[in-house]
Structure 1
Amino acid sequence: MLSARSLFQEIVDHDDSFQLFCSIAASGESQGGWENARIAALVPDSMRDLAPKITRHGADEDKHGRIFQALLRRRGLPAVPVPPETDYTMLLEQRGIGLTHEKLRRDEPLTEEDIVVYLAHSRVTEQRAADQMTMLVRHFGDHPDVGRAIRMISHDEDNHLSYCHEELLRLAREGHGRTIHRVLRESALAEIAIYRDVSLAVMDHMGRLLHWPTAKSAVLAAGIRGMYAYERFAGWHRMISLRLPERLGALSGAPTGVPGLA
């Protein structure tokens, strides 16, 4: 019987699939770290109070990248190139979601609207990350090799999501509500399609590495498409709602280290 637990266990147990999984994850987290660091450096003067929180967000993402690289080193495995069709961050940018890397490479201050776009886009992608990590903690939080790393990353992703909710609610009160609603909707609808495509691509690569039978690959692909159909019909709405989080000030203070992992 196929389940999230059995599927991930199979991926973790096989060196080649584990190597690809960690390489994809490390690349995405490191990219997020760079993006947040650049945004923090370019925050407009009117929003400088956000810079420390954005810096903390980026530091957390960098830490996550190092954690996945450390997991590879523990197994004696080098990182491998990320197939373009599995590069979630790159595909989002190609769809015009978030701030472009071209803009972030310039030494020009961002606008207030740019920061609103960044936070709204982050609210959507951090929901995905938090949900994925919650699922992994439920099934693998006590795993001897990856459990500690998963729990730590999950805690950080919950903080990131709380921060996005809190700051977007504040900005909505300050008059940015219309822009926030528009960007949230555009980001969510684009993200669910990209997540489907990336999931299909990742499962295709895993299937070849693990020599899955055609029937198993077909069932997994059908499940991914079924989830997309649900999200496209109704599920995407939960990715654009805003509520006051329990963790207020979640990104205040210095980032936590990871002794023994990264």
Structure 2
Amino acid sequence: MLSAKSLFQEILDNDESFRLFCSIAASGESQGGWENGRIADLVPASERDLAPKVARHGADEDKHGRIFNALMKKRGLEPVEVPPETDYTMLLEQHGIGLAHEQLKRDERLTVRDIVTYLAHSRVTEQRASEQMDLLRKHFAGDPGIGHAVKLISADEDNHLAYCHEELLRFAYAGHGRDIQRILRECALAEIRVYRDVSLAVMDHMGRILGWPKAKAALLAAGIHAVYAYERLGGWRRMVSLTMPERRNALGGPPAGAAEFA
């Protein structure tokens, strides 16, 4: 029976597919760490209280990158180059989602509008990350190889999502509600297309590594297209709603370390 658990178990059990999976994940997390670090350095003076939370977000992403690299190291594996068609973060930027890297490389203060754009982008992408890690936690929390890492990263992603909700609501109450809803909608509709394309590319690479028959590859591709159809018809709306999270100030403290994976 083809299921999310059996599919990932197959990827996990093969060194080459596991190496590709971890390399893609580590690259994306490290890129997110750099982006958040630069944003924390460039927040406008009026939002200086937000800087430590953005920095904490970046530190968490850097930590996740180290964890995925450490998971490879535990199995004696080296990272591989990430195929560009599987680079979720890069493709989002190419679609105009979030703050451009060229802007972040300049030593110019961001505007409040830039911060709102960053938070709206993060609210959408952290929704995806939280859901993906929740799925892995459901099936692999008890796995001796990756269980601890999955639980740690999943908890962080939930915190990131809560932080985005709380900060966006703060900006909405300050009069930015219309901009926030517009940016969230644009970002969500772009993200679901990028996620579809990246998912198809990743499954294509995994299929070649694992020798999947054409029928299995076609079934998985059909499933990815079906998810996109659902999201395009209305599933994207879950990515744009804003509710005050139960856990307030989720990024207000120091980040948990990853020394056990170093």
Give the superposition deviation at 1:260.
Answer: 1.6
Give the superposition deviation at 1:261.
Answer: 1.2
- Report what 1:114 is aligned to: 114
The SS at the match of 1:208 is helix
- Report what 1:160 is aligned to: 160
The SS at the match of 2:108 is coil
Name the CA distance, whole Å, in 1 between partners of 2:203 and 2:139: 19
- Report what 1:67 is aligned to: 67
**Deviations along 1:60-116, whole A, 9 cap, x unmatched?**
000000000000000100000000000000000000000000000000000000000
- Report what 1:246 is aligned to: 246
Structure 1 moving runs of 4+ over 4 Å: none
**Aligned AA for 1:104?**
L
Name the CA distance, whole Å, in 1 between partners of 2:85 and 2:179: 30
**Deviations along 1:181-213, whole A, 9 cap, x unmatched?**
111000000000000000000000000000000
2:26 equivalent to 1:18: no
- Report what 2:225 is aligned to: 225
**Aligned AA for 1:155?**
A
2:102 equivalent to 1:91: no
Q: How does 1:161-240 map to 2 (within 5 A)?
A: 161-240=161-240
Normalised by the length of structure 1, the TM-score is 0.99
- Report what 2:133 is aligned to: 133
**Aligned AA for 2:180?**
I
Name the CA distance, whole Å, in 1 between partners of 2:260 and 2:50: 31
Normalised by the length of structure 2, the TM-score is 0.99
The SS at the match of 1:145 is coil
Aligned-CA RMSD value: 0.5
Give the superposition deviation at 1:256.
Answer: 0.6
Name the CA distance, whole Å, in 1 between partners of 2:180 and 2:260: 40
**Aligned AA for 1:3?**
S
The SS at the match of 2:119 is helix
Name the CA distance, whole Å, in 1 between partners of 2:258 and 2:46: 34
**Aligned AA for 1:27?**
S
Name the CA distance, whole Å, in 1 between partners of 2:162 and 2:253: 15
**Deviations along 1:238-260, whole A, 9 cap, x unmatched?**
00000000110000011011232
**Aligned AA for 1:143?**
D
The SS at the match of 1:79 is coil
**Aligned AA for 1:208?**
R
**Aligned AA for 1:232?**
R
The SS at the match of 2:258 is coil
Q: Which runs of 5+ in 2 are unaligned?
A: none
**Aligned AA for 1:166?**
E
**Aligned AA for 2:161?**
L
Name the CA distance, whole Å, in 2 between partners of 1:138 and 1:181: 31
**Deviations along 1:23-45, whole A, 9 cap, x unmatched?**
00000000000000000000000
2:14 equivalent to 1:7: no
**Deviations along 1:122-146, whole A, 9 cap, x unmatched?**
0000000000000000011111100
Name the CA distance, whole Å, in 1 between partners of 2:232 and 2:190: 10
Name the CA distance, whole Å, in 2 between partners of 1:118 and 1:225: 28
Total equivalences in the alignment: 262
The SS at the match of 2:260 is coil
Q: Which runs of 5+ in 1 are unaligned?
A: none
**Percent identity between the two aligned chains:** 71
